[in-house]
């Protein structure tokens, strides 16, 4: 159920489950001990987890900066915004849910951290076949992605790894997607006054595939790796004269696009290109010859 900013009160926002909220922002706990969930701080860069949420109290505390509180307190710091702006940000992105209370005798430590075991060039036939099904050519995939072997909860997996600016990875395989810590945006800077913005790396790879036969423009790129990182990406984006948005066509993506357009005339919404599809890759996998011709004429 979605709530408009007019009906989303401060008390309702405070009642949102902090664990679920951080997960929606792309942050997962490093370990869980009783009711305490420990994270690498979303508010700063660190190597040892010192950000804690007590799920019984539904409160957080960052030992590195000596601050804590409820979801409102966290959101204001994380987005550097006012309460009204935070409530607008929450609008349509989360469901209202009371915090889950765990039994006091739950003393098991759960390690959720993904450990990268091997980082090699992308060669697995099953992973390359998955990308080819998404219409991403092998040579483009190999240019931007790695093949990762990793462990999670004592099990071993492998997947396509796309590195972010803090050396964490977005990870995909044909069956599921995950990420390794720390989670962050990915930027490619080529000295251009124009930047293209994508939610995920599959959309970015799709764009590179779509333009592989066109003249190289030397554009800059930012891949958010989670639309919730939009605010964090703004300093990089707004250092450019033109910001072209290729965000998803779902409610959240359209909401962020609309907000961006209200910030500055630098922002341009490019999602009309795939207006009848969920995202750029979905369109790319299904578009016809006339649409392709229109795209090439527009981007030459």
Range with the lowest mean pLDDT among 55-59, 106-110, 254-258, 280-284? 106-110
- What are the CA-CA distances from residue 137 to residues 48, 165, 186 (Å)? 38, 24, 20
CA geometry: angle at 173 spanning 168 and 174, to 5°? 160
Q: Is 81 exposed, middle or buried (0-12, 13-18, 19+ CB in 10 A)?
A: middle
Q: Per CATH, is 10-111 categorized as 3.90.580.10?
A: yes
Binned at pLDDT 50, 70 and 90, residue 299 comes out as: low
Query: In angstroms, rounded to a whole number, what is the distance separating the alpha carbons of residues 116 and 178?
Result: 12
Predicted confidence (pLDDT) at residue 46 exceeds the cutoff of 80: no
Taking 80 as the threshold, does the pLDDT of residue 215 lie above it? no
E strands of 190-233, at which residues?
194-198, 220-223
| Pairwise pLDDT comparison (229 vs 239), residue with the higher score | 239
The reported pLDDT for the residue numbered 296 is: 57
Phi, psi (rounded to 5 degrees) for 85? -65, -35
3-state SS assignment for residue 285: helix
Inform me whether the pLDDT recorded for 51 exceeds 60.
yes
Kindly report, residue by residue over 149-176, the tens digit of the pLDDT. Answer: 998 767 788 999 999 999 999 998 887 7
**How does residue 99 score in pLDDT terms, banded at 50, 70 and 90?**
very low
Give yes or no for residue 251 having a pLDDT over 50. Answer: yes
For residue 53, the SS3 value is strand
Question: Using CA atoms, how far apart are residues 21 and 1, in angstroms rounded to an integer?
Answer: 15
Mean pLDDT over 139-153 rounds to 91
CA atoms within 13 A on the CB side of 276: 5
**Could you tell me which CATH number the domain at 186-299 has?**
3.40.1360.10
- pLDDT higher than threshold 60 for residue 105: no
Cα-Cα-Cα-Cα dihedral sign, residues 240, 242, 244, 245: positive
What's the distance, CA 170 to chain centroid?
9
CB-based contacts of 178: which residues, under 8 Å, 6+ apart?
114, 152, 159, 171
Residue 208: is its pLDDT beyond 80?
A: yes
The stretch 121-139 carries a mean pLDDT of: 93
**What's the confidence (pLDDT) of residue 94?**
35
Query: Which region among 104-108, 199-203, 258-262, 268-272 has the lowest average model confidence (pLDDT)?
Result: 104-108
Preceding amide of 66 cis, omega within 30: no
Between the CA of residue 71 and those of 8, 77, 145, what are the distances in Å? Answer: 13, 10, 35
Q: Where are the domains of the chain?
A: 10-111, 115-179, 186-299
Greatest CA separation found in the chain? Answer: 64
């Amino acid at each position: 159920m979605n709530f408009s900013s007019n009906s989303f009160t401060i008390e309702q926002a405070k009642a949102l489950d902090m664990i679920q909220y951080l997960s929606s922002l792309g942050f997962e706990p490093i370990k869980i001990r009783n009711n305490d969930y420990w994270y690498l701080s979303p508010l700063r860069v660190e190597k040892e987890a010192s950000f804690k949420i007590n799920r019984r109290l539904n409160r957080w505390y960052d030992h590195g900066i000596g601050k804590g509180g409820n979801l409102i307190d966290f959101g204001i710091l994380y987005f550097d915004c006012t309460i009204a702006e935070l409530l607008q940000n929450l609008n349509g992105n989360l469901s209202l849910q009371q915090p889950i209370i765990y039994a006091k005798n739950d003393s098991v430590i759960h390690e959720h951290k993904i450990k990268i075991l091997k980082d090699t060039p992308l060669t697995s036939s099953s992973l390359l076949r998955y990308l080819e099904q998404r219409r991403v050519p092998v040579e483009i995939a190999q240019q931007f992605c790695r093949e990762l072997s990793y462990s999670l909860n004592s099990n071993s997996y492998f997947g396509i790894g796309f590195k972010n600016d803090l050396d964490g990875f977005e990870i995909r395989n044909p069956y599921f997607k995950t990420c390794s810590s720390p989670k962050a945006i990915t930027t490619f800077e080529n000295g251009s006054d124009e930047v293209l913005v994508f939610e995920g790396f599959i959309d970015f790879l799709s764009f590179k595939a779509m333009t592989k036969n066109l003249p190289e423009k030397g554009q800059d790129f930012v891949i958010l790796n989670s639309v919730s990182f939009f605010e964090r990406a703004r300093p990089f984006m707004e250092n450019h004269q033109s910001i072209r948005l290729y965000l998803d066509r779902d409610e959240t993506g359209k909401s962020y696009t609309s907000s961006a357009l209200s910030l500055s005339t630098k922002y341009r919404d490019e999602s009309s290109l795939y207006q009848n599809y969920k995202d750029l890759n979905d369109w790319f996998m299904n578009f016809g010859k006339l649409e392709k011709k229109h795209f090439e004429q527009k981007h030459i």
